[in-house]
Structure 1
Amino acid sequence: MEVLKKIYKKHGFELICVPTQEEALSVAMSFIKPHMSIGMGGSTTVKQIGLYDYVTSRKDITLYNQYEPGISMEENMQRRRQGLVSDLFICGTNALTKNGELVNADGSGNRVAAQIFGPKKVLIIAGINKLVENVEEGFKRIHDVASPKNIERMNNVAISMGKEPRYTMSNIGKKFAYINGDEEGRTTIILVDEELGY
């Protein structure tokens, strides 16, 4: 993993490797400071390690939480926009390569937009299952693994809310991003040696 850290450092990313999701949560919590504004991108991994619950429990931060139950779609979109100019943006990634690159697909685009530019700092949480050889494998992973699982999850949520399932391969990943580097110090990736998320 030391070689991988050096590769990511050359691309401007800080890569922190941890063995468990419990340790990932502990490290991630250290990034949350009082009076911060925080945006979030959709991430099963962030929820799995307990970071979503931790952030939503903090009363000393401003959280632009588009996932808060009961808010209107107008409020949801406003919070997504506010997240793009936050102090910290927390999200997952669809794939990260052994060459130090990030590969993502997004429906609305707020997650990939934030990874590229806007928030002062970006914190990405990823399981070891997201690590791929190269960009081509990253896009293949999105098509073959991440998208089908996300479509199933999101349609199941819609059905449980009494709505028609409407998510398909054509609308879940309309915006794609390949990121080959960032301003040094802006993006930190916590890579967990466990399979997490999709």
Structure 2
Amino acid sequence: MPTAEVLREFSLARAKEVKRVFERRGFEVFVAPSVAESREVVERIVPEDALVAWGGSMTLEESGIKDLLRTGPYRVLDRDRAASAEEVERIYRETFSCDYFFMSANALSLDGHIVNIDGRGNRLAALLFGPRYVVMVVGWNKVAATLDEALARAKHLAAPLNATRLEKHTPCRRSTVCEDCLGDESICSHTVITRRSVPRGRIKLILVGQRLGF
């Protein structure tokens, strides 16, 4: 079997297992074999005129979902195009009243946990409370077997990669693993583990059968 077919079969099998586990925990889960199909899911679940926002995410960039939200029939809180630091702060706060907040995850596990690490905490604050719905778009490469493995992935892979992407002066850029630094440029101030969606269906997972993000 060609490599592409092997990866496709494996990623979809893993996504179906994740769907089974997380639906038991109150999440609404969609399986999208490709990024094109992930965008179709977004168009299906987000109504016209909904107020939408997002947290920092390479997955949303690579999947085209951020562009879809910008050009679609939605009202958008777009901090990336803010004209000043004051406008960014305003958008951060208005995000808590949006209808749909989009983000990805640093890792999720087959035993039913989602792991996210944040620097400032605005992304995780919106995950925990505020927006009516949270939509997480996650590539199959972020799925780990256990919570411990998901934590390790978030801490020792996703965080150093994001520190490099953001050009932060942190030890992990040199060592490529977390050094538990306490410097002002650390992007690892908050770690959140999500094991249930409350209310049921508030958090929606779109599992994509492609590698996306870090």
Q: TM-score range by the shorter chain?
A: 0.7 to 0.9
1:142 is displaced (CA, Å) by 1.4
Q: Which residue of 1 aligns with 2:213?
A: 197
Q: Distance in 2 between matches of 1:62 and 1:5?
A: 30
Is 1:22–2:44 an aligned residue pair? no
| 2:74 equivalent among 53, 61, 69 | 61
Q: Which residue of 1 aligns with 2:20?
A: 6
After superposition, the CA RMSD in angstroms is 1.7
Q: Which residue of 1 aligns with 2:50?
A: 36
1:93 is displaced (CA, Å) by 0.6
Distance 1:110 1:131, change over 3 A: same
Q: Distance in 2 between matches of 1:152 and 1:29?
A: 33
Q: Which residue of 1 aligns with 2:145?
A: 133
CA contact (8 A) 1:18 1:193 kept: yes
1:32 is displaced (CA, Å) by 2.8
1:129 is displaced (CA, Å) by 0.7
Identity of matched residues, %: 28
Larger of the two Rg values belongs to structure: 2
CA contact (8 A) 1:39 1:82 kept: no
CA contact (8 A) 1:124 1:187 kept: yes
Post-superposition Cα deviations, 1:62-108, rounded to whole Å, max 9, x if no partner, equal 2111111x521221121111112211001111011101211000111
Aligned to 2:102, the other structure's residue is in SS state strand
Runs (4 or more) in structure 1 with deviation over 6 Å come to none
1:176 is displaced (CA, Å) by 1.0
Counterpart AA for 2:115:
V
CA contact (8 A) 2:17 2:110 kept: no
Is 1:185–2:201 an aligned residue pair? yes
Q: Distance in 2 between matches of 1:32 and 1:105?
A: 26
Q: Distance in 2 between matches of 1:122 and 1:104?
A: 14
Is 1:174–2:189 an aligned residue pair? yes
Post-superposition Cα deviations, 1:31-81, rounded to whole Å, max 9, x if no partner, equal 3322211121111001111111111123x422111111x521221121111
Aligned to 1:172, the other structure's residue is in SS state coil
TM-score (norm 1): 0.88
Aligned to 1:125, the other structure's residue is in SS state strand
Listed as ranges, the gaps of 5+ residues in structure 1 are 156-164
Listed as ranges, the gaps of 5+ residues in structure 2 are 1-14, 173-180
Is 1:119–2:134 an aligned residue pair? no
Q: Distance in 1 between matches of 2:192 and 2:99?
A: 22
CA contact (8 A) 1:38 1:62 kept: yes
Q: Distance in 1 between matches of 2:18 and 2:56?
A: 26
Counterpart AA for 2:95:
G
Q: Which residue of 2 aligns with 1:97?
A: 109
Paired positions, count: 187
Q: Distance in 2 between matches of 1:166 and 1:81?
A: 28
CA contact (8 A) 1:42 1:91 kept: yes
